Chains A and B, each alone.
Chain A
Amino acid sequence: MGARKGFSRKYLGIPYAVFLAIFVILPLFVILYYAFTDGTGHFTIGNLTGFFTDPNTLGTLLYSLLIAFSTTALCLAISYPVAYILAMSNLKRKSVLVMLFVMPMWINFTLRITALKEILTVVEGNLAFHPFMNSIIGMTYDFLPFMILPIYNQISRLDRSLLEAAADLGAGSFDAFARVTLPLSMPGVASGVSMVFLPAMTNYVVLDMLYNSTYIMGSLIGSYFSAYDWHNGSMIALVLLAIIVIVTLATDAGEENDQKGGALI
């Protein structure tokens, strides 16, 4: 093909390759540079040691992890039964129901949190009394569709004959669920977790809007940004990137393991 006027279809990717190099790769190097330099441009590990020795930033890291774990757990507890029922049932208007659960994704999240805030204010009176609980509720409300959708997709793809086989081999419906459906739905759970966990560590707007003044990792970036402190801000971004890599590798492993398990069956 290349012989024809020297054109090859792979050259179509050049603009995007250049784009990715400038706007995706380059910023990562810039972050790395700023994280390990001081205001005068000299190399330093002070930002790194500063982060891990300052009780405030460490406290923020722990608080973010607590928020992220709690949000992920609550999202999962609501999403799994919903996704399972949607995927396994033969309800008449199934596609409409699925759409209703996914649709909030398309409504601006700040407007949805505004709505939630108004309701919580009516229920609780003063939001400031339950900052942690409100944050978890807000994040769950925000991220729920991102957990439901991948789990629903995964369970929908499940080969129903496996369940029939399990029943034929004498498994009760609970056994069939615990030993067939649940393990085979894990890739969906893993991808849902990866969609919820990180935003829960960083989406400080949800906390701000619900009057939780405690910092999470995202708020730290925001406050360093407002103070024009690119160096410490970059260090926080770097720590977040490390967490992102860990979570991504972990959830990828979850997805692959189960694909192998699935292939074995």
Chain B
Amino acid sequence: MNKKKIIQTLILVPALFLVYAPILILAVYSFTDATQIGMGASFSFDNYIYLFTTEELRSMILGTLALAVGSAILATILGTLGAMGAFYSGKKMRSAYTGINRIPVVNADVVTGFSLCILLVVVFGMSKESFFPLVAGHVTLCAPFVFLSVYPKLGQMDKSLYEAALDLGAPPMTALWKVVIPEILPGILSGFAMAVTLSLDDYFVATYTKPATFDTISTYVVNATRGSQTEVKTALWALSTIIFVVVLIIAFAGNRNKDAEKKIRKGAEVNA
């Protein structure tokens, strides 16, 4: 090993250690009967059993997932339509779209959630129990990122494809569906994935817009840390471990996919 490699390792390894030590230590303890980190303990699946058999926890997890997928679908439809509308508009309209689209992206989530709550609940008199403010809030949080992920794909595609489809007699909607959408699909899918993760990670928009009896993972965890129920606390270690493993699997699968794509593209270039 040369000097450069040693320096690289001396920076990367401690950094990775700092990032993953808490998650991994918690993961180890999630398989024990310990109620505190650092305690001597014996192996146990109790946390996992408690997590999956407690109705409150199960419905909280399923509710969070349903909210994330539902609002991500809405956000993907709106954001994709918006990106197409903006891309095919004149210059002025286009900068209006991209400018306004940027507001929720740079805005603090606290402000987004608070202002939406005032508009929908205080001004319009909507009930939070209807879930409308919560879903609207999450779509507002996510759709701009779908827009940002689809928009550049429209610039990359061959513009004459759509014209060609029309010239060959396809109605505009068919041409869009069969020609444009497949071309920008990678952008739509990565926008959707981003929307799901944003919704899953959100605390602030949910806390200002959610029904009183509904909890997302974030609001539940924050309330649990204020409470003193140790069973809940340690069951959340198990939840954290499960999420970590799921994310790890998805990330590695995605990474493999990308590597494979790169290889195929390289191969194609060589053949060409």
A interface residue numbers (CB < 8 A to B)? 1, 4-5, 7-17, 19-20, 23-28, 30-31, 34, 78, 81-82, 85-86, 89, 91, 95-97, 99-101, 103-112, 114-119, 121-122, 141, 144, 194, 198-199, 201-205, 208-209, 218, 221-222, 225, 230, 233-234, 237, 240-241, 244, 248
Contacts and interface: CB of A to CB of B under 8 A. Distances in A.
6 contacts: A7-B173, A11-B85, A106-B197, A110-B222, A237-B114, A244-B108
Contacts of A119: 21-22, 25, 37
Given A17-B82, A27-B116, A198-B106, A103 B247 contact: yes
A34 B118 contact: yes
Nearest to A81: B11
B222 A144 contact: no
Interface of B is mostly: helix
Interface stretch (B40-48, B50-58, B86-94, B263-271): B86-94
Nearest to A109: B201
Interface string B252-267: 1001001100000000
Contact of B140 (A23, A89, A241): A23
Interface in B201-256: 201, 203-204, 208, 217-218, 221-222, 225-226, 236-237, 239-240, 243-244, 247-248, 250-252, 255
Nearest to A15: B81
Interface string B71-82: 000000011011
B215 to A, nearest CB: 11
B16 interface: yes
Interface of A is mostly: helix
B208 A100 contact: no
Given A106-B250, A234-B115, 9 more contacts: A1-B172, A11-B85, A27-B119, A106-B247, A106-B251, A111-B239, A208-B226, A233-B114, A241-B107
B84 interface: yes
Contacts of B69: none
Contact of B118 (A97, A118, A230): A230
B145 interface: no
Contacts of A218: 108, 110, 204
B31 interface: no
A114 to B, nearest CB: 6
Contacts, number: 237
Contacts of B259: 95
Contact of A10 (B79, B85, B236): B85
A19 B243 contact: no
Contacts of A26: 119
Contact-residue bracket for chain B: 35 or more
B272 interface: no
A94 B11 CA distance: 15
Interface of B: 8, 11-12, 15-16, 18-23, 25-26, 29, 36-38, 78-79, 81-82, 84-86, 88-90, 93, 97, 100-101, 103-104, 106-112, 114-119, 122-123, 136, 139-140, 143, 147, 166, 171-173, 176, 197, 200-201, 203-204, 208, 217-218, 221-222, 225-226, 236-237, 239-240, 243-244, 247-248, 250-252, 255, 258-259
Contact of B243 (A108, A116, A141, A201): A108
Contacts of B106: 194, 198, 244, 248
**9 closest residue pairs by CB, A with B:** A13-B85, A16-B82, A27-B115, A115-B22, A9-B88, A110-B221, A111-B240, A202-B108, A10-B89
A221 B221 contact: no
Q: Which of A12, A34, A82 gathers the greatest number of chain B CB atoms within 10 Å?
A: A12
A36 to B, nearest CB: 14
Contacts of B225: 114, 117, 208-209
Contact of B172 (A5, A78, A105): A5
Contacts of B101: 20
Contacts of A23: 116, 119, 136, 139-140
B119 A30 contact: yes
A99 B251 contact: yes
Given A16-B82, A202-B110, A244-B106, A31 B118 contact: yes
